[in-house]
Amino acid sequence: MDGAVEELMPRLLPVGDCDLPEDFDPTVPPRTPQEYLKRVQIEAARCPDVVVAQIDPRKLKKKQTVNISISRCQPAPEGYSPTLKWQQQQVANFSAVRQSLNKHRNHWRSQHLDSNVIMPKSEDEEGWKKFCLGERVYSEINILSDNENTGIDYMKVGFPPLLSIVSRMNQATVTSVLEYLISWFGEKKFTPELGRWLYALLACLEKPLLPEAHSLIRQLARRCSEVRVLEENKNEEQISALNLIICLVSRYFDQRDLADEPS
């Protein structure tokens, strides 16, 4: 048996016959390299060939700390569930947008930005929220223009997801901004500004999805379904926008367990 074990597991430090004193005691600290290696051999020989761990399942149940949510989207309100044909058309349109974006990304990236467009750094969460949503939505205040002829103040209403902007965002930034906006959406209402940016960021996500992006879009779809159910006035345009995001997450990014059942 020992010979077979040695064939499968050759010794890394073979120890030949060495002159050890007659009073060699393996229980005391070794005094020479030969004594140390001999002691290792003796201890290894005493180890059983097979070791079985004795596990008490009751202790494991008490110490579980990770909970994985596999909850699905809440069903659409009666009469507002999208048809399968509509969902398929949205996926086709979205796919075409992604292909066009990838094809012309270098062109749009080379375009000069207006002097008032200052993109925040990737880690600037508050900066990105204000950049995308504007002070009006971010601060939840009504800002009235003093002069209608002064033009649009994008600092107040938010910058739209122009191709010249999103084409400059790498995947790390896309994922970070998506996380910031989903976090904001977790406690706030859905707005057109938010919807435009969510659509643009989803269009910029590369497949296969990174684990963090996978978790984010599932969180986004579930949040859309919650807001959709709570929509008091059943605003058809807003519900359609929420349906669209759920549709893209579930059917384009293959999260089929979150898909709406066709009406």
* 194 phi/psi in degrees, rounded to 5: -65, -45
d(CA 259, CA 26): 68
More confident residue, 21 or 129: 129
Confidence check: pLDDT of 227 > 50: yes
Q: List the single range of 28-37, 86-95, 130-139, 157-166 with lowest mean pLDDT.
A: 28-37
Distance from C-alpha of 183 to C-alpha of 229, rounded to nearest angstrom: 19
Neighbours of 194 (CB within 10 A): 22
Residue 221 has pLDDT above 60, yes or no: yes
| pLDDT tens by residue, 96-137 | 999 999 999 999 999 888 888 899 999 999 999 999 998 887
pLDDT at 251 over 70: yes
On whether the CB atoms of residues 145 and 199 are closer than 8 A, the answer is: no
* 81 close to 260: Cβ distance less than 8 angstroms: yes
Residue of higher predicted confidence among 191 and 156: 191
Q: What percentage of the chain's residues is helix, strand, coil (to nearest 5)? A: 55, 0, 45
In the numeric block, the tokens 């986004």 are attached to 220
Q: Which fold has domain 105-142+152-258?
A: Methane Monooxygenase Hydroxylase; Chain G, domain 1 (1.20.58)
The whole-angstrom separation of Cα 121 and Cα 125 is 9
pLDDT band, very low/low/confident/very high, at 17 (cuts 50, 70, 90): low
